[in-house]
């Protein structure tokens, strides 16, 4: 119990003093992050002329520099044209323009709260006034927009209630009731954003250093500061929540990520990453809802769940079924990643560090103790039979390795493999990184090949033959595991 009592601790590190408040565990995590930050360089922003390391900025500030929360739109770079190859060219963001104008130095910090709409930046104390003047203008526009939107929602809610009263059929009434639920949720979500904006503006968007570190709850920063900073440079820091805390119905457009999709994932007991893809959709009336695409483990099939017209309470009744279909569990840490590109990098990062941790684990597995010889024989026989069954199932599939850019979704959001003749529908991807994907193909299965002039059936054996140079011997892999 003593460890749970909040404490105040002063820490000195390399001539800089810090004041932390929290439990012993929280203070220890913050202290580790302070030390790790001294050795860290933000690789993503190396080309920004004013960006410098945390250690250097401390020297400039003669102590801990203040951290400001910048609205993300200040970092948006406008499209200014295309190059000869048709690639979009981007200009400088508002942040870049005024920092270059005034020759300002700063340190873009690891974003320990990656799913909000702000970017933490440490700045020298003497430059705070210039930054806060720019931030104040943007926050003013944001607050005004959110207040106007609040009034719009109120008017739409009145209209929806009138539709319910004037409905002539049960169908019209049900549609109006579904619309009302979504509008009320949207208004509540916008009000929450408005209150958050006002609260940040009231404190001039200043973030206390200890509060900044506390944002790391639910990230790798809680238990391994060095790993968290490594993750920041690889794929940006990823935060974990329990499913009910992150898979709620979103109705407010400002809460939708730029990619318009989110990947939720868990590493489960089978040592694989299971995931759910969430796609945000806007209907003709401007109502926001989500479609959840669940790939059934071990198959090429996807099941789609929709939260259209459902309140949060109604949607929560659907969540257990969705999680079960995906091979995921409730009350388990669930990583939230806001784009496919980032999710691929995150998968690669997790696999790399999981393998490294497993390879570095000391010692052999301890001998198990059984209550009797009969119990030992039963358990070992059962485990052997299960392994044989697993090895057999794996041996029925051939794995082919292909370029990642050949993996795509068709117009029905079904996973496909791009072949010379067309799109191969119904595949199962085992693993994928930036360069390669490994795809399971069963020789005696029939797969649909979608071509411009129609659909053609292909046997798995034909696909394997066409990709002979890319085949990974699944039978040999299974036999290798069996021999351990």
Contacts for 75-79: CB closer than 8 Å, 24+ residues apart:
75/119
Query: What distance in Å separates the CA atoms of residue 335 and residue 410, rounded to the nearest whole number?
Result: 26
What confidence score (pLDDT) does residue 393 get? 46
Q: Please name which of 62, 65, 10, 9 lies closest in space to residue 37, comparing C-alpha atoms.
A: 65
DSSP 106: B
- The pTM (predicted TM-score) of the whole model is 0.69
Query: What distance in Å separates the CA atoms of residue 129 and residue 36, rounded to the nearest whole number?
Result: 29
* Domain residue ranges of the chain, discontinuous segments joined by +: 2-123+205-225, 137-202, 238-357, 393-482
Residues 6+ apart with CB under 8 A from 232: 42, 44, 110, 111
Q: What is the pLDDT along the chain (484 residues), one digit of tens a residue?
A: 344 556 677 777 666 777 777 777 777 777 888 888 888 887 777 667 788 888 888 888 877 889 999 999 999 999 888 888 888 888 999 999 999 999 999 999 999 999 999 999 999 999 999 999 999 999 999 999 999 999 999 999 999 999 999 999 999 999 999 999 999 999 999 999 999 999 999 999 999 888 898 899 999 988 889 999 999 999 999 999 999 999 999 999 999 999 999 999 998 776 778 899 999 999 988 899 999 999 876 777 789 999 999 999 999 999 999 999 888 998 899 999 999 999 999 999 988 876 665 555 444 444 555 555 655 565 666 565 554 444 444 444 567 788 888 888 777 767 788 888 888 887 777 777 777 887 877 766 778 888 888 888 777 777 777 765 554 433 333 333 333 3
Residues 6+ apart with CB under 8 A from 155: none
Query: What distance in Å separates the CA atoms of residue 419 and residue 425, rounded to the nearest whole number?
Result: 10
Please classify residue 164 by burial: count the beta carbons closer than 10 Å to its beta carbon, then call 0-12 exposed, 13-18 middle and 19+ buried. Answer: middle
* Alpha carbon 1 to chain centroid, angstroms: 34
Any alpha helices (H) in 282-404, and if so which ranges?
Answer: 312-326, 340-360, 373-395
Any alpha helices (H) in 167-222, and if so which ranges?
Answer: 170-202, 209-214
Residue 30 in contact with residue 77, Cβ under 8 Å?
A: no
Beta-sheet strand order (sheet of 471-472): 428-432, 436-442, 397-403, 471-472
What confidence score (pLDDT) does residue 403 get? 84
What confidence score (pLDDT) does residue 397 get? 56
Beta-sheet strand order (sheet of 118-122): 107-108, 118-122, 67-71, 206-207
């Amino acid at each position: 119990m003593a460890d749970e009592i909040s404490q105040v601790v002063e820490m000195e590190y390399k001539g800089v003093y810090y004041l932390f408040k929290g439990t012993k565990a929280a203070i220890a995590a913050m202290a580790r992050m302070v030390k790790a930050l001294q050795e860290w360089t933000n690789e993503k922003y190396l080309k920004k002329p004013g960006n410098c390391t945390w250690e250097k900025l401390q020297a400039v500030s003669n102590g801990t520099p203040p951290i400001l929360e910048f609205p993300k739109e200040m970092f948006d770079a406008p499209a200014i044209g295309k190059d000869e190859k048709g690639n979009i060219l981007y200009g400088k963001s508002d942040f870049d323009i005024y920092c270059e104008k005034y020759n300002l130095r700063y340190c873009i910090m690891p974003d320990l709260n990656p799913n909000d709409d702000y970017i933490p930046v440490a700045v020298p104390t003497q430059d705070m006034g210039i930054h806060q003047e720019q931030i104040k203008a943007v926050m003013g526009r944001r607050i005004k927009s959110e207040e106007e939107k609040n009034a719009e929602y109120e008017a739409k809610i009145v209209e929806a209630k009138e539709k319910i009263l004037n409905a002539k059929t049960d169908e019209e009434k049900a549609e109006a009731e579904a619309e009302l639920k979504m509008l009320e949720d949207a208004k509540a979500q916008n009000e929450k954003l408005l209150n958050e904006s006002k609260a940040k503006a009231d404190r001039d968007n200043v973030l206390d250093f200890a509060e900044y570190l506390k944002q790391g709850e639910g990230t790798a920063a809680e238990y391994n500061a060095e790993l968290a900073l490594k993750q920041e440079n690889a794929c940006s820091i990823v935060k974990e929540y329990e499913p009910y805390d992150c898979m709620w119905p979103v109705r407010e457009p400002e809460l939708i990520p730029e990619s318009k999709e989110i990947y939720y994932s868990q590493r489960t007991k089978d040592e694989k990453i299971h995931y759910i893809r969430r796609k945000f959709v806007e209907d003709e009336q401007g109502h926001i809802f989500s479609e959840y695409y669940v790939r059934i483990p071990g198959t090429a099939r996807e099941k789609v769940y929709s939260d259209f017209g459902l309140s949060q309470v109604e949607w929560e009744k659907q969540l257990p079924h969705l999680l079960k279909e995906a091979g995921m569990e409730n009350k388990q840490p669930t990583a939230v990643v806001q784009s496919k590109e980032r999710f691929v990098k995150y998968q690669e990062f997790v696999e790399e560090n999981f393998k490294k941790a497993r390879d570095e684990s000391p010692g052999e597995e301890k001998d198990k103790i059984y209550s009797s010889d009969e119990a030992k024989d039963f358990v070992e026989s059962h485990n052997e039979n299960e392994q044989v069954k697993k090895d057999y199932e794996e041996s029925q599939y051939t794995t082919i390795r292909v370029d990642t850019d050949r993996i795509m979704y068709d117009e029905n959001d079904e996973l496909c493999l791009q072949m010379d003749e067309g799109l191969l529908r119904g595949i199962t991807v085992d693993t994928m990184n930036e360069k390669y994907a490994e795809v399971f193909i069963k020789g005696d299965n029939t797969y649909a090949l979608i071509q411009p002039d129609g659909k053609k059936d292909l046997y798995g054996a034909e696909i394997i033959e066409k990709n002979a140079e890319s085949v990974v011997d699944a039978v040999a892999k299974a036999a290798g595991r069996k021999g351990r």
